[in-house]
Amino acid sequence: MRVIYIGQCERGSTSRMRFEKIQLFFECEVELVNLSPIILNTPKIFRSLGWRYKVGPMISRINSVITKKIKNSTYDIVWVDKGVFIKPEIIQQLRSKTKKLIHLTPDPAFLYHKSRFFNKSVKFYDYCITTKSFEIDLYNKSGAQHCIYLTQGFDKEIHRPLMEFDEKKYEVCFIGHYEKERAELIQLLLDNDIEVVIAGIKWEGFVKKNTHNKLKYFGPHLAGEDYARLINESRIGLGLLSKWIPEKHTTRTFEIPACKTCLVTESNNEIRDFFLDTECIEFSDSEDCLRKVQLYLATPDKIKELSELGFNRVIMDRRDYESQMFDLCNRLFSVS
């Protein structure tokens, strides 16, 4: 079995995790084309051009490295992770060198992280795997042969309980980038004397103008063990969804309960598919969120119970990345 994996595989990334889990599944050394060093070593101005417009030396270098790697090789499986920088002609070369060509991205490929390269390449993949249910129709319209929906998940080696409920230090946490609607909800909690700790990019202005001693900011970048620890230290974790795209769940949806912290999230059909109402707190709008957070903070035993039931749910439903990748690989490769 010869397998090659092409992706942005910096340490701590979900792409790296997928690469490692695939190696475990096949029980062999999977060849890796790691695009991250190319991206990180590109001067900032050209990196920006590459990300925004898919032009410049970063794009040329990525495609050149892939071309050289596969020049005299054939593969049983080629796995492309987030293939937004790979030109369609290179994808066609990969297509000619493998029995199965697979693409996976946890990002919105059409509505946000747009790439003309990917749009023109969709039809060449045997399987396109997405975590965005709202984009399945767009994959099909773009010529996808088979589109598979995979939920987001958590890393069981990182997102795990680290302390007892009575050891938790904070009331509410949110980790994620700034959005206007998120800030408004958090402000409402603060204005009602609820402690909130936050981390993520572009919160500096919100933090600077906010005089509440109930607010604590842990900086723009919190990842890995530090990310999991802050969730663990909080009684409630906000699983807020982005309003930039019509997403219905996110990694936080599973990472928070995996840390045995009580998930508070916006109500929708996907959340109701994942959890019973005894396993997380769902809310319809900001006022409903405030009301429920106040109620549950006043009854810590109930928060503890929800935390434990939510944890049991994500474990039982195999939402961890390793289980997900093994189940996915079994599905993809059990058919000859």
Q: What is the CATH number of the domain that holds 184?
A: 3.40.50.2000
82 and 196 share one domain: no
Range of the domain at 284: 165-316
Q: Is residue 12 situated within a structural domain? A: yes
210 and 275 share one domain: yes
Residues of the chain with pLDDT > 90, as a percent, come to 89
Q: How far is CA 153 from the centre of its chain?
A: 7
Q: Is residue 159 situated within a structural domain? A: no
Q: Is residue 9 situated within a structural domain? A: yes
At 140, the amino acid letter reads N
Q: Is residue 156 situated within a structural domain? A: no
133 and 15 share one domain: yes
189 and 261 share one domain: yes
Q: DSSP alpha helices (H): ranges in the chain?
A: 14-26, 36-40, 44-53, 57-70, 88-96, 116-121, 136-141, 180-191, 204-209, 224-232, 252-258, 269-274, 286-297, 300-316, 321-333
Cα–Cα distance for residue pair 183/190, rounded to 1 Å: 10
112 and 232 share one domain: no
Residue-wise over 294-332: b if at least 16 C-beta within 10 A, else e?
Answer: eebbeeeeebbebbbbbbebbeeeebbbbebbbebbeeb
210 and 119 share one domain: no
183 and 83 share one domain: no
Q: Check residue 335 and give its pLDDT.
A: 52
Q: What is the pTM of this model?
A: 0.91
Cα–Cα distance for residue pair 185/308, rounded to 1 Å: 26
End-to-end CA gap in the chain? 13
44 and 100 share one domain: yes
188 and 305 share one domain: yes
Total count of domains within the chain: 2
Dihedral of CA atoms 105, 108, 110, 114 in degrees, nearest 10, equals: -80
Q: How confident is the model at residue 230 (pLDDT cuts 50, 70, 90)?
A: very high
Q: What's the mean per-residue pLDDT of the chain?
A: 95
DSSP state, 154? B
Q: How confident is the model at residue 334 (pLDDT cuts 50, 70, 90)?
A: confident
Written as six digits, the tokens of 92 are 């066609």
113 and 198 share one domain: no
The tens digit of pLDDT for each residue in 29-75 reads 899 999 999 999 999 999 999 999 999 999 999 999 999 999 999 99
74 and 112 share one domain: yes
Q: How confident is the model at residue 112 (pLDDT cuts 50, 70, 90)?
A: confident
Q: Is residue 160 situated within a structural domain? A: no
Q: Is residue 157 situated within a structural domain? A: no
